[in-house]
Amino acid sequence: MKLSGGQGPEIPGRANLRSAHQGHYDVPRVATGLGQRSFAVSGPKAWNSLPSELRCIAVDSTFRRRLKAELFSRAYGVSDNA
């Protein structure tokens, strides 16, 4: 699996799946609570939970600004649009 130019995941063999077009990562199955907290699981879960319009942003500075606004909104329930 590799990232291709900020466009989300590029996973061999998944090109025809709907989740590949939505920019979702596969979340590995784990049997333990410790495994659920590993980066291999929590990273894809966090990415997949982002709105699709945020995951599709190709410009790094724009992505970072909107990601910060999204995370702030989730944490504090405050919208960036005043």
Partners of 9 in the beta sheet? 3
Measured CA to CA, the distance from residue 82 to residue 63 in angstroms comes to 20
Which mean pLDDT values do the consecutive 10-residue runs of the chain (82 residues) have?
49 52 79 85 92 93 96 86 56
8 A C-beta contact, residue 6 and residue 61 = no
Residue with tokens 């410790």: 34
The pLDDT value recorded for residue 2 is: 42
**For residues 44-53, b (16+ Cβ closer than 10 Å) or e, as one string?**
beebbebeee
Q: Where are the domains of the chain?
A: 2-76
pLDDT of 20 reads 54
